Amino acid sequence: MDADAQKRAAAARAVEYVQPGMRLGLGTGSTAKHFVDLLGERVRAGLKVVGVPTSEATFAQAKACGIPLTTLDETPELDLTIDGADEVAPDFSMIKGGGGALLREKIVASASSRMVVIVDATKWVETLGRFALPVEVTPFGYGATLRAIEKAIGTVQSGGPLKLRQTKDGHPFVTDGGHWIVDAALGRIDDPKALARALAAVPGVMEHGLFVDLASVVIIGGPDGIKTVE
Ligand code: 5RP
């Protein structure tokens, strides 16, 4: 199985967690895309659920698949969110935001009773941090916010290069919420909770990609099959 087949296999296992009538958070990224695709098949076969998408891309996909959609204004409490991740550690702390949807993903996951995370085996790591940590910032005061992020990281651990995420034509990548993303190449993150607290305290930081105490189940698609960690 190649990485994409592993992602699809993990997504297929996650569909088994969906029960009729559930209010679902629908994640973003190539793994979550498989899940939405497979959920769409179940919905077209008669399964009744409603979904809250975590990005404009997932909104468009879910709509095209025929999945009934709602918002957190109409439906503020969800039963289950299914989403991918960029890295997951054995304590279920995660890095998310590689696809730039971290703010909506965290709001939706936090409104859910359970979160099932679906990844291929390369994402399961002993220590977070090889993947650069996305930090979503408001464009106003960018220079000052960047310095404050650097300082905040320095209160918890050693830093690393911070890079404004850019599009291919050299413009800042703009999130669905109209913000920018700074990717912090830290190498390793030994205390995700402490770093999460420090980053959350920086004015101008809209959200960061450290997800702690949110995942309840991790489904890992590997070359030799699926492993579920609860
Ligand atoms: C998007 C995310 C994605 O879940 C994460 O980047 C994983 O993406 P993929 O499934 O494409 O590897 O956090 O903001």
Q: Report the predicted TM-score, pTM, of the whole model to 2 decimal places.
A: 0.97
Whether ligand 1 lies within 6 angstroms of the CB of 129 is answered as no
Whether ligand 1 lies within 6 angstroms of the CB of 96 is answered as yes
Ligand 1: nearest atom to the Cα of 119: 10
Whether ligand 1 lies within 6 angstroms of the CB of 199 is answered as no
Q: Judge whether 150 counts as a catalytic residue.
A: no
Give the chain's count of helices (H) and strands (E): 6, 13
Distance CA 96, CA 67 (A): 24
Bridge partners for 221 per DSSP? 120, 226
Interface predicted TM-score (ipTM) of this complex, two decimals: 0.98
Cα separations in angstroms, 113 against 15, 84, 160? 16, 17, 35
pLDDT tens digit at each of 230 positions of the chain: 788 999 999 999 999 999 999 999 999 999 999 999 999 999 999 999 999 999 999 999 999 999 999 999 999 999 999 999 999 999 999 999 999 999 999 999 999 999 999 999 999 999 999 999 999 999 999 999 999 999 999 999 999 999 999 999 999 999 999 999 999 999 999 999 999 999 999 999 999 999 999 999 999 999 989 999 99
Q: Does 97 count as an annotated binding residue? A: yes
Distance CA 83, CA 117 (A): 5
